[in-house]
């Protein structure tokens, strides 16, 4: 999921559209945009599908005004359907507001229970509805910022929130900074975005990251900051660098493509391979593969091609079609890999099923050897902050040695990047959340204890 907000720019909803377009890789199941027009009237449109399927120009034209925000959402079995598509919109005599969020509360059950005991009932499965209800429960008649502080203090997890009233935008980030959120300047106004790659496209310039534990308030006074936690930590999710973010984003001062290329170089030094060519798994592993190729002196080749038009509308081949040889998405290029010893660079291995398939593709296309190199450590633990690597059992490496994993995916050799290099690939960075690799969760994990103790 990702969120994008604009304050103080004409046709703000149009800019949100272009911003979300850039963030589409973070959520392709659904999209929504809300805005307040000059008269303070709240407007919203959302739908299932890619942004381009949900919006057209005439819909965007109805979302008038100079303040707007939106989100894109990925598929999530337990939070599906239109009701859960951001932003949510709330009516209250004191003023309507909209909320969207990225990430996950880890103490959701606790918060739900707190609210139900006070007579609440829920129309969605979102954390944004919990946020709205908490704000209202905490309202004391003082400034709303204090009820937001109170609400956030009840929440634990990896998340960012955008809260929009008719004349104000609040941007909030969890106290560990697990999820990213960046501030930009756009003419006289401001933008907030899950990733900085959206800034350039809308003509904005990067200002700074929203800090862990911070609430940034944007209104006609400009931007103001309030910390809702005095002891924030910088434990951003390592997978943001490794896999999620776009290569042209900078997070906490480090460019994602540069990070990946450096991780590829370090991977080569830690796990060299005696081979002929380096091939990356498109698209997220290409930067690491280039780094590996540069460091090793081996040629970087386009041995795997990804079909560009695969989308929601694609008809998946039936089982019988697959058995007759019909392939999908990825194909290996025979004339490139035939007879070659291939270093296959991938960003990470979750279940290992895709790795197995890709290695088979390469071998069918004639590859003599396939040496798999992963630009991140062995993934051994589930994530509860938004990565949705469901259960421990499903992870290839939760219960396998390196050698067992190699055998399982059918590689000639297998190497992983060290946790140290995973952090060090980002110059000057001291820590990342590597919970899925190390099991060291930055927060209490509440009801999930059972899962990880299995």
Indicate the burial class of 171 (C-beta count within 10 angstroms; 0-12, 13-18, 19 or more): buried
Least Å from the CB of residue 210 to its own copies: 19
Q: Which of 38, 40, 75, 82 binds its own copies (CB under 8 A)?
A: 82
Least Å from the CB of residue 421 to its own copies: 20
Is residue 75 involved in binding its own copies (CB under 8 A)? no
Enumerate residues 6+ apart whose C-beta is below 8 A from 306. 282, 283, 329, 330
Least Å from the CB of residue 121 to its own copies: 5
Pairing of strands 369-374, 413-416: parallel
Q: Are 284 and 26 a contacting pair, CB within 8 Å?
A: no
The residues in 143-202 that bind its own copies, with binding defined as CB under 8 A, are: 187, 197, 200-202
Give one word for 329, left, alpha or beta, with left for phi > 0 and alpha for psi -120 to 50.
left
Q: CA-to-CA distance for 298 and 275, rounded, in angstroms? A: 8
Neighbours of 352 (CB within 10 A): 18
Least Å from the CB of residue 58 to its own copies: 10
Q: CA-to-CA distance for 213 and 205, rounded, in angstroms? A: 23
Q: Are 138 and 147 a contacting pair, CB within 8 Å?
A: yes
Least Å from the CB of residue 366 to its own copies: 12
The residues in 296-315 that bind its own copies, with binding defined as CB under 8 A, are: 299-302, 305, 307-309, 311, 313-315
Stretch near its own copies under the rule CB under 8 A, chosen from 13-21, 225-233, 405-413, 426-434: 13-21
Q: Which of 141, 324, 428, 430 binds its own copies (CB under 8 A)?
A: 324
Least Å from the CB of residue 402 to its own copies: 30
Q: Are 387 and 239 a contacting pair, CB within 8 Å?
A: yes
Pairing of strands 189-193, 304-306: unpaired
Of 327 and 408, nearer to its own copies (C-beta) is 327
Of 172 and 435, nearer to its own copies (C-beta) is 172
Least Å from the CB of residue 166 to its own copies: 15
Is residue 444 involved in binding its own copies (CB under 8 A)? no
Q: Which of 150, 331, 354, 390 binds its own copies (CB under 8 A)?
A: 331
Is residue 50 involved in binding its own copies (CB under 8 A)? yes
Least Å from the CB of residue 290 to its own copies: 6
Radius of gyration of the chain (CA): 23
Q: CA-to-CA distance for 103 and 2, rounded, in angstroms? A: 8
Q: Which of 332, 370, 374, 417 binds its own copies (CB under 8 A)?
A: 332
Of 229 and 364, nearer to its own copies (C-beta) is 364
The residues in 87-146 that bind its own copies, with binding defined as CB under 8 A, are: 88-93, 112-113, 116, 118-125, 129, 132-133, 135-137, 139
Q: CB-hemisphere CA count at 13 Å for 278? A: 27
Size of the site for its own copies (CB under 8 A): 90
**Nearest of 252, 242, 176 to residue 214 by alpha carbon:** 176
The residues in 232-261 that bind its own copies, with binding defined as CB under 8 A, are: 246-248, 250, 255, 257-258
Strand segments, DSSP code E, in 232-290 are: 250-251, 254-255, 277-280
Is residue 17 involved in binding its own copies (CB under 8 A)? yes
Of 299 and 444, nearer to its own copies (C-beta) is 299
Least Å from the CB of residue 52 to its own copies: 4
């Amino acid at each position: 999921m990702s969120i994008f907000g604009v304050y103080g720019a004409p046709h703000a909803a149009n800019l949100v559209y272009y911003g979300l377009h850039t963030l589409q890789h973070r959520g392709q199941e659904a999209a929504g945009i809300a805005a307040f027009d000059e008269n303070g009237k709240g407007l919203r449109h959302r739908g299932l599908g890619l942004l381009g399927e949900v919006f057209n120009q005439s819909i965007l034209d109805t979302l008038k005004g100079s303040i707007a925000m939106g989100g894109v959402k990925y598929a999530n079995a337990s939070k599906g359907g239109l009701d859960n598509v951001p932003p949510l919109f709330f009516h209250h005599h004191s003023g309507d507001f909209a909320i969207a969020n990225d990430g996950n509360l880890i103490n959701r059950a606790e918060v739900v229970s707190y609210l139900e005991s006070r007579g609440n009932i829920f129309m969605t499965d979102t954390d944004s509805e919990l946020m709205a209800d908490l704000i209202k429960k905490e309202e004391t008649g003082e400034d709303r910022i204090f009820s937001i502080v109170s609400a956030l203090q009840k929440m634990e997890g990896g998340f960012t929130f955008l809260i929009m009233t008719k004349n104000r935008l609040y941007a909030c980030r969890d106290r560990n900074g697990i999820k990213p959120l960046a501030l930009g300047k756009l003419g006289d106004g401001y933008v907030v975005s899950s990733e900085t790659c959206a800034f350039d496209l809308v003509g904005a310039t990067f200002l700074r990251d929203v800090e862990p534990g911070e609430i940034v308030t944007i209104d006609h006074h400009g931007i103001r900051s309030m910390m809702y936690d005095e002891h924030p930590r910088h434990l951003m999710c390592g997978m943001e660098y490794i896999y999620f973010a776009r290569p042209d984003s900078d997070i906490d001062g480090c460019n994602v493509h540069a990070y990946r290329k450096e991780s590829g170089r370090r991977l080569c030094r830690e796990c060299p391979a005696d081979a002929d060519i380096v091939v990356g798994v498109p698209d997220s592993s290409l930067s690491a593969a280039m780094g590996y190729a540069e460091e090793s002196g081996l040629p970087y080749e386009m041995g795997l091609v990804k079909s560009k038009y695969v989308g929601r509308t694609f008809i998946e081949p039936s089982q019988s079609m697959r058995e007759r040889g019909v392939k999908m998405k990825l194909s290996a290029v025979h004339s490139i890999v035939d007879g070659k010893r291939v270093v296959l660079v991938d960003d990470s291995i979750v279940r290992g099923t895709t790795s197995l398939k890709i290695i088979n593709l390469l071998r069918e296309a004639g590859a003599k050897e396939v040496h798999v190199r992963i630009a991140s450590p062995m993934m051994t633990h589930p994530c509860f902050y938004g990565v949705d690597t469901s259960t421990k059992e499903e992870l290839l490496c939760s219960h396998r040695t390196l050698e067992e994993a190699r055998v399982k995916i059918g590689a000639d050799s297998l190497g992983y990047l060290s946790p140290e290099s995973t952090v060090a690939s980002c110059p000057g960075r001291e820590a990342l959340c590597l919970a899925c690799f190390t099991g060291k969760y930055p927060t209490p994990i509440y009801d999930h204890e059972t899962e990880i103790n299995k």
